């Protein structure tokens, strides 16, 4: 008899604290046959897997999928395709699988690329995505900072942009969140300084993880190599909202 194909669940394990995983995701994690987690091409360590670990059954199969952090688009596409094929192979064996990511699975996440590839290779695959708590929600909670109030705007940005573009975007919103603030911290700080927002910016490093740090003077971030897990929150109170 032909078996039914398995379901793929997209699960966000939150920013670090294993208690910040939705109950629904915990239930799913306990029931799936396989947990996939992204790892970089440099090593197979997965922080998402470490966060999820307390919720996994001891016999669960875990598989790391390598997503290279590279500017080489062809290499990247090849990896997405290969990883999608791997996931489909297990689903076709009737196994249910979870793909886990840090924070929310659909916010700047490898999961989005994986889903696109799976849909194009195997359009009938059953995919069920469960939202997760983002890094910036946890950073706001840690510092008791409202993300947005009243009729204010909230802009979520990647820091991987050149300075003028960053400056232009930051200047247009009331509240700005900068993720991926690790690579061009110099440019980011300089854009913020030129907008006179340095004193209105708070940084959170490794939120919910060992070594968690709140930075109230972001100039201090320029003295050392910025951590990959850095989020910046900017309050642009000069912007008037309509």
The residue whose Cβ lies closest to ligand SAM is 103
Instruction: Determine, following the binding rule CB under 6 A, whether residue 229 of this chain makes contact with ligand SAM.
Output: yes
Distance CA 190, CA 167 (A): 9
Residue (of 197, 152, 147, 198) closest to 171 by Cα position: 197
109 contact partners, CB below 8 Å, separation of at least 6: 12, 101, 102, 103
CB of 168 to ligand SAM, least distance (A): 20
* Residue with smaller CB distance to ligand SAM, 104 or 187: 104
Instruction: Determine, following the binding rule CB under 6 A, whether residue 155 of this chain makes contact with ligand SAM.
Output: no
Check if the beta carbon of residue 194 is closer than 8 Å to that of residue 171.
Answer: no
Alpha-carbon dihedral sign for residues 86, 92, 95, 96:
positive
CB of 108 to ligand SAM, least distance (A): 4
- When binding is defined by CB under 6 A, the residue of 66, 228, 235, 239 that contacts ligand SAM is 228
* Residue with smaller CB distance to ligand SAM, 122 or 145: 145
Footprint of ligand SAM on residues 171-200 (CB under 6 A)? 179-182
Distance CA 226, CA 189 (A): 12
Footprint of ligand SAM on residues 70-109 (CB under 6 A)? 101-104, 107-109
User: What crossing angle do the helices spanning 185-194 and 163-170 adopt, rounded to 10°?
Assistant: 40
Distance CA 6, CA 108 (A): 26
CB of 206 to ligand SAM, least distance (A): 5
- When binding is defined by CB under 6 A, the residue of 37, 191, 206, 226 that contacts ligand SAM is 206
* Gyration radius of the chain over CA positions: 19
CB of 86 to ligand SAM, least distance (A): 21
Instruction: Determine, following the binding rule CB under 6 A, whether residue 209 of this chain makes contact with ligand SAM.
Output: yes
- When binding is defined by CB under 6 A, the residue of 46, 83, 202, 230 that contacts ligand SAM is 230
Instruction: Determine, following the binding rule CB under 6 A, whether residue 161 of this chain makes contact with ligand SAM.
Output: no
Tokens at 20, concatenated = 């910040």
User: What crossing angle do the helices spanning 110-121 and 73-92 adopt, rounded to 10°?
Assistant: 60
Footprint of ligand SAM on residues 11-50 (CB under 6 A)? 15-16
Residues that bind ligand SAM (CB under 6 A): 15-16, 101-104, 107-109, 134-135, 179-182, 204, 206-209, 228-231
């Amino acid at each position: 008899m032909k078996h039914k194909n398995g379901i793929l669940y997209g699960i966000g394990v939150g920013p670090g604290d294993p208690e910040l995983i939705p109950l629904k995701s915990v239930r799913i994690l306990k029931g799936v046959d396989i947990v996939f987690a992204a790892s970089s091409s440099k090593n197979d360590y997965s922080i998402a897997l470490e966060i999820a670990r307390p919720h996994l059954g001891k016999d669960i199969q875990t598989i790391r999928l390598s997503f290279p952090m590279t500017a080489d688009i062809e290499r990247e596409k090849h990896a997405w395709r290969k990883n999608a094929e791997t996931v489909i192979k297990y689903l076709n064996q009737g196994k249910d699988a979870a793909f886990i990511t840090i924070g929310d699975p659909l916010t700047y996440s490898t999961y989005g690329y994986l889903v696109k590839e799976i849909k194009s290779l195997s359009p009938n695959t059953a995919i069920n995505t469960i939202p997760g708590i983002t890094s910036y929600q946890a950073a706001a909670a840690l510092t008791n900072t409202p993300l947005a109030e009243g009729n204010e705007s909230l802009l979520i940005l990647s820091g991987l942009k050149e300075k003028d573009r960053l400056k232009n975007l930051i200047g247009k919103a009331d509240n700005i969140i900068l993720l991926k603030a690790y690579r061009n911290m110099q440019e980011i700080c300089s854009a913020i300084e030129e907008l006179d927002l340095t004193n209105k910016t708070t940084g959170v490093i490794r939120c919910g993880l060992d070594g968690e740090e709140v930075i109230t003077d972001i100039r201090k971030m320029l003295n050392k190599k910025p951590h990959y897990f850095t989020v910046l929150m900017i309050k642009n109170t000069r912007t008037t909202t309509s």
